[in-house]
Amino acid sequence: MIARLTSTIAAVAIAAGAWSFALSTPANAAGEEIEIPSHDWSFKGPFGTYDRGALQRGFQIYKNVCASCHALNYVAYRNLEHFGYNEDEVKAIAAEATVIDGPNDEGEMFERPGKPSDRFVAPFANDKAARAANGGAFPPDLSMIVKARPDGANYVRSLLLGYVDPPADFKMMEGMNYNAYFGGHQIAMAKPLYGDDVTYEDGTPTSIEQEAEDVVTFLAWASEPEMEERKRAGVMTLLFLLVFTGLLYATKRKIWADVH
Amino acid sequence: MAANFSNPVVRWIDHRLPIFTFLHHEAHEYPTPKNLSYWWNFGSLAGIALVIMIVTGITLAMHYTPHVDYAFSSVERIMRDVNFGWLIRYIHMNGASFFFIVVYIHIFRGLYYGSYKAPREILWMLGVVIMLLMMATAFMGYVLPWGQMSFWGATVITNLFSAIPLIGDPIVTWLWGGFSVDNPTLNRFFSLHFLLPFVIVGVVILHIVALHRFGSNNPLGIDVKGQKDTIPFHPYYTIKDAFGLGVFLIFFAAFVFFAPNYMGHPDNYIPANPLSTPAHIVPEWYFLPFYAILRAIPDKLGGVLFMFGSIAVLFVLPWLDRSPVRSGQFRPIFKIFFWILLVDVVFLTWLGGKPAEGTYVILARFATAYYFIHFLVVLPALSIFETPKPLPKSISEPVLGAGGGFAGATAAPREKV
Ligand code: HEM
């Protein structure tokens, strides 16, 4: 029985391996494949968690740099409690934003300070306004950017660090910027990070690499805020299943002992 | 043997509505070949996967909004704001993939052990119907989150119907409920995605009725000769299936909790945008072999016909493979071709994920041709030319019977014990 079981599992594993190999190489038509360097993230692996300091610093970068162009529509101020801010701190952060609410009883829209239950206030009233302010290009909402790109965390980090000089013969379109990692290498977003763009509240030096790592950690959290809870639940579930399946196997052996 | 229930309430009900007797017959004493290998676990796993899909699907439907302006954000809200919404959605999303993995293994099991042969032809054909319904269900489900791949996948696949001569375009307009994939399309896909799983449940019940007529095939592919070849379903196969379920759940949980988006496409986290076509429109992995066949044919209508043909050959498979021996174990040449077919299908899957250009198309044509040759030429030819190995006398006497009478063709209905 054991032999049969192991051969079945082995066969399934081999088949699964073959399938996943069949699927692993991303579809890629004409155009070069851009190699994205890997970074060692705090949230990598089955036990990885978001580094709290990086989350707070990354939020600072987002708020002070990216938020002037990119919305974060799916994240609410109350979600920042996850970073270790207490209720009052979150209230204070939310109150910095101005929310347009209404209509009130007079039928007028009015402005009020943000509340923890509000979602992050977007920089532009609508997509057209966002395009108009960015030379026709649309700065995408960043709430899901890390799961909306292949190898998202490494990609966004590389993108932020990828503003290098174009090759000599490169034909750049008007208003575009060369980026080593953007598909086609021409991106409408001007280099957003230079290093020393903010002064970190915790005193961490603000090299461009540090800033990129921090803001990407923040964006990874924005994409998958459930990740830590998910992995924790996963470890418990797997431990339970391993023990339970082991018991089932022992029971099975016992019941089948008299079958020849 | 009449069931003898000790509980008086059960007895009272059973006397008037014999469901307990029925269950006792079909799920307890039901005589099952005693030599089933672990490959026979995948049927019950498929049933459980279906239940998992229905339970999580109904829960998702309580929070989902089928409207082009809200669908994408309602799914993302499920992930963020509904208690354990991320878990429900990831189970449903990965559950679809695992459902297909399980069913594909189940099908290849049937192909190897000749489970489609007499007297199980209808059982097999009902299985193919289930697979088709699953494909329709999964295709429409994938449209619901209304991401880029949802939208463009729906556009590409529904457009296939325009290949039908004369009435193709009106059919596509009718399917869409308009002149492009839009809100009416999303609404009807939601409605059908909700409905079809229950149709699947119905066909699964028929599948099991047909199964219980003659009982399971087995690795030797020979008929059960009597009581000594069988064991009661409970507790032997209930515990074995429970153990198999445990192993399945370990693999499943590993994906749900640690790599929930591995089998998905990142583009589906970008809201659907009819004005921006993704560079590569790829369907979910479980459609890739069929997608490869579709694109291997230079003509649109031809591609559609070959794609559906690749499933249609499965329908008529019992009449293509006429060898009286069921199990591949006793068919030395068939066995080799079986493995080549498996490799061919994996290869087609790989090709389906590649752009339809250059060498990929050429390779896809060869792989497609081979797929059909296997069913239409190799199997009928083997039925004539292959000399099977001698078959054992019975399951409980796995010694080879002298001369090896073929046990395949004649099968009596299972004797009730
Ligand atoms: C045969 C069983 C089923 C299969 C194979 C299936 C497959 C799928 C797939 C592939 C998706 C897209 C997943 C994603 O990327 O988000 C999906 C979504 C969905 N399904 Fe199902 N499904 C099944 C049963 C059901 C049932 C019974 C219901 C409800 C009654 C349901 C409700 C939904 C809803 C509301 C969504 C959209 C939410 C989402 O995308 O996560 N499904 N389904």
Distance CA B196, CA A234 (A): 31
- Tell me if the pTM is above 0.80: yes
Per-residue pLDDT of chain B (417 residues; tens, 9 = 90+): 456 899 999 999 999 999 999 999 999 999 999 999 999 999 999 999 999 999 999 999 999 999 999 999 999 999 999 999 999 999 999 999 999 999 999 999 999 999 999 999 999 999 999 999 999 999 999 999 999 999 999 999 999 999 999 999 999 999 999 999 999 999 999 999 999 999 999 999 999 999 999 999 999 999 999 999 999 999 999 999 999 999 999 999 999 999 999 999 999 999 999 999 998 999 999 999 999 999 999 999 999 999 999 999 999 999 999 999 999 999 999 999 999 999 999 999 999 999 988 999 999 999 999 999 999 999 999 999 999 999 999 998 865 544 444 444 344 444 433
Of A15, A22, A237, the CB nearest to B353: A22
In order of B45, B68, B177, B335, the CA distances from B185 in angstroms are 32, 10, 6, 45
Contact B76 A74 (CB under 8 A): yes
pLDDT(A25) > 80 = no
Per-residue model confidence as pLDDT tens digits over B274-333: 999 998 999 999 999 999 999 999 999 999 999 999 999 999 999 999 999 999 999 999
pLDDT(A2) > 60 = no
Mean pLDDT across the stretch A25-53?
81
**Residue partners of A143: CB distance under 8 A and separation at least 6:** A71, A72, A73, A74, A75, A222, A223, B76
Contact B45, B252 (CB under 8 A): no
pLDDT at A190: 96
Q: DSSP letters along B77-94, please?
A: HHHHHSTTHHHHHHHHHH
In three state form, how does the secondary structure of A90-117 look? Answer: HHHHHHCCEEEECCCCCCCCEEEECCCC
**Residue partners of B80: CB distance under 8 A and separation at least 6:** A74, A225, A226, B86
Q: State which ligand 1 atom lies nearest to the alpha carbon of B284.
A: 10
Spatial CA neighbour of B407 closest among B192, B119, B126? B119
Per-residue model confidence as pLDDT tens digits over A220-259: 999 999 999 999 999 999 999 999 999 999 999 999 999 9
Cα-based torsion angle of the residue sequence A246, A251, A253, A259 in order, rounded to the nearest 10 degrees: -160
Rg (CA), chain B: 24
What is the DSSP code (8-state) at residue B226? S
Q: Which residues of B carry out catalysis?
A: 212, 216, 240-241, 284
pLDDT(A172) > 80 = yes
In chain A, residues with a C-beta closer than 8 Å to the C-beta of B258 are 46, 231, 234
Q: Whose CA is nearest to atom 6 of ligand 1?
A: B138
Q: State which ligand 1 atom lies nearest to the alpha carbon of B100.
A: 5
Closest-approach residue (CA) in chain B for A117: B81
In order of A102, B308, B334, B338, the CA distances from B379 in angstroms are 72, 20, 8, 10
Q: DSSP letters along B163-181, please?
A: GSTTTHHHHHHHHHTSSSS
Contact B115, B327 (CB under 8 A): no
Q: Quick one: pLDDT band at residue A30, thresholds 50, 70, 90?
A: very low
**Residue partners of A25: CB distance under 8 A and separation at least 6:** B353, B354
Task: Kindly report the number of other CB atoms within 10 A of residue B353's CB atom.
Answer: 21
Q: Quick one: pLDDT band at residue A33, thresholds 50, 70, 90?
A: confident
Closest-approach residue (CA) in chain B for A12: B105
**Who lines ligand 1 at CB under 6 A?**
B 50, 53-54, 57-58, 60-61, 64, 75, 89, 92-93, 96, 99, 134, 137-138, 141-142, 144-145, 193-194, 197, 200, 264, 268
Q: What is the ipTM of this complex?
A: 0.90
pLDDT at A260: 76
- Report which residue type is found at A160: L
- Of the residues A12, A77, A253, A260, the best mutation for testing chain B's interface (the one with the most B CB atoms within 10 Å of its CB) is A12
Contact A147 B256 (CB under 8 A): no
